[in-house]
Amino acid sequence: MASRPPKRIRVPLNGVLLLDKPVGFSSNDALIKAKGLLNAQKAGHTGTLDPFATGVLPLCFGEATKFAQDLLDADKTYETLIHLGVSTTTGDTEGEVLERKDVNVSREQIDAVLAQFRGPIKQVPPMYSALKRDGKPLYEYARAGITLEREARDVSIHTLQFLTYEAPFLRLRVACSKGTYIRVLGEDIGAALGCGAHLQELRRVQVGHLTLAGCVTLEQLADAEPEQRSALLAPVDSLLLTFPEVLLSEPLAKRFLQGQRLTLTKEGVALPAQAGRVRVYLQSGDTMSERQLLGTAQLHEYGVLAPERLIATAQLV
């Protein structure tokens, strides 16, 4: 009887891999590949990117998964190439062509149409999406030839910037709220121009405050020596840099990690001007390397600090 290979022992990593997702990978495919290369125990992604899309996909490992929701709720920025005159079943290059029309639109017409889509708008989610109905994602119904009614949702297009137009290709930059489907935006722009459209390319360039500048590719991760791959992870608090910080002494940090609410106005701790969510550190010295993330908290009136999500691996001497 052949012996089984030894079970792979996963490593407890904590941090964030800012991945530049390649075309052809689903978000989950990319997560599985990166998790395998890092030999990590626990991992999750922060919202999906379509397989044909590329760009910023933050992958959270270990304790960072506790803060993934913040990026799910964050604004996103994309650059997209819209192919005018051709409509597809999926709104992108992966679908079958439904209709072809001549394209005869001017820059003035494009500018007028783009103005209609800036600000708060209503958007009907596409059938080819991961939204669920009765426990099944909509794309499963779509693949079976079934179209379901979907309610329009409120989204916001913060920026809709014209970049280039070389007929029939229109390139745009879009900054939008969570829940916005750029495929649907492209289709709606094509419909408003009277010629139809689908997305030829889609690249996510920013999620919240995280940009392509800090991203690595799967190839870079694979090419790194196995023992060096974890060095490509950003620290857990890279997800939290938009929140003000609160620095605690060791006695206060111990109480904080026990889940106690702290009244910091009595403790001489420097506090942000505004109440709200904060990131909390143990400050054991004067340098950045001498601080340790303890978690997040809500800062209330009178300097009351209420623990929210705590770092389980935080160690106090």
Catalytic annotation, pick one of 50, 92, 188, 237: 50
- Two structure tokens written together for 311: 């770092």
DSSP 8-state secondary structure symbol assigned to residue 73: T
CA–CA dist 30, 36 (Å, integer): 10
303 conformational bin, left if phi > 0, alpha if psi -120 to 50, beta if neither: left
Give yes or no for a contact between 178 and 76, defined as CB atoms under 8 angstroms apart.
Answer: yes
Check if 50 is active-site.
yes
DSSP helix/strand/coil, 301? helix
- Two structure tokens written together for 48: 């999906």
CA–CA dist 275, 83 (Å, integer): 47
Question: 3-state SS string over 132-186?
Answer: EECCEEHHHHHHCCCCCCCCCEEEEEEEEEEEEEECCEEEEEEEECCCCCHHHHH
CA–CA dist 218, 29 (Å, integer): 11
Token pair 């490992």 is at which residue?
61
Q: Count how many Cα atoms sit within 13 Å of the Cα of residue 26 in the half-sphere of its side chain.
A: 5
- Two structure tokens written together for 284: 């054991």
Give yes or no for a contact between 282 and 292, defined as CB atoms under 8 angstroms apart.
Answer: yes
Give yes or no for a contact between 54 and 191, defined as CB atoms under 8 angstroms apart.
Answer: no
Report which secondary-structure segment, H or E, holds 187: helix 182-192
The residues, ordered by sequence, that sit 6+ positions from 98 with a Cβ below 8 Å of its Cβ are 87, 88, 89, 196
Kindly list the catalytic residues: 50
